[in-house]
Chain A
Amino acid sequence: GAGVSQSPRYKVAKRGQDVALRCDPISGHVSLFWYQQALGQGPEFLTYFQNEAQLDKSGLPSDRFFAERPEGSVSTLKIQRTQQEDSAVYLCASSIQELFFGEGSRLTVL
């Protein structure tokens, strides 16, 4: 596709459930980022991939968060045993130099 595509756009999970969020970057973009955005805040860095290599995961808030990009294209952010504080919009971006963002996945944990 022409832009970064994220799915699902909206996800409601019960506390304790596992969720998986998908990101389809722009074709040919080597770099892929995941950000978490709370209401009224700027995006907070979670993790960064260059091709299939996860070069920085310093922003992942706990070991319940896991991201992968096995073939250097599509990426999945997985959150295990979701908690209420995980409720946020999860944004994916890809880049060569300029960051291009998807529409985000809004996660609500009840």
Chain B
Amino acid sequence: KQEVTQIPAALSVPEGENLVLNCSFTDSAIYNLQWFRQDPGKGLTSLLLIQSSQREQTSGRLNASLDKSSGRSTLYIAASQPGDSATYLCAVGDNNDMRFGAGTRLTVKP
């Protein structure tokens, strides 16, 4: 069974700092990896989707990388803002079965 781990569980940074969130998974035979953002009491908002043939995806201040061989993905957030405060979740798998980590709770202090 695929196990997904996210480190750290919580992170607090001052505004403007660049930061990296980590996601590791045990089974490298994945079809894609997706990063999400979840605000309190809300559903999940998709941030980036990386297919297994890709190594990274970028959207604005966000960059996600994928290293299937080592079972790792990172989400890089540049020039963090207070509005980035949320829980960030990664999910890995295929079209039939996406497994989630427990998330990293990010707080960006003004």
The CA-CA distance from A99 to B36 in the complex, in Å, is 9
Enumerate chain B residues within 8 angstroms of A77, measured Cβ to Cβ: none
Say whether B43 contacts A101, CB under 8 Å: yes
Q: 8 Å CB contacts to A: which residues of B85-109?
A: 89, 91, 95-103
Say whether B46 contacts A48, CB under 8 Å: no
Say whether A41 contacts B102, CB under 8 Å: yes
The CA-CA distance from A104 to B97 in the complex, in Å, is 19
Enumerate chain A residues within 8 angstroms of B43, measured Cβ to Cβ: 4, 6, 91, 101-104
- Give chain B's interface secondary structure class: strand
Total interface residues on B, CB under 8 Å, equals: 24
Enumerate chain B residues within 8 angstroms of A100, measured Cβ to Cβ: 46
From A44, A97, A98, contact of B100 by CB (8 A): A44
Which bracket fits the contact residues of A? 20 to 34
Say whether B49 contacts A98, CB under 8 Å: yes
The CA-CA distance from A100 to B18 in the complex, in Å, is 27
Q: Does B42 lie at the interface of the complex (its beta carbon under 8 Å from any beta carbon of A)?
A: yes
Enumerate chain A residues within 8 angstroms of B32, measured Cβ to Cβ: 97
Enumerate chain B residues within 8 angstroms of A41, measured Cβ to Cβ: 102-103
Measured CB to CB, the residues of B under 8 A from A are 4, 6, 32, 34, 36, 41-46, 49, 51, 89, 91, 95-103
Q: A44-B100, A45-B98, A48-B97 are in contact. List 11 more A-B contacts (CB 8 A).
A: A4-B43, A42-B4, A43-B89, A43-B100, A56-B96, A97-B32, A97-B51, A97-B95, A98-B34, A99-B34, A99-B46
Measured CB to CB, the residues of A under 8 A from B are 4, 6, 31, 33, 35, 40-45, 48, 50, 55-56, 91, 93, 95, 97-104, 106
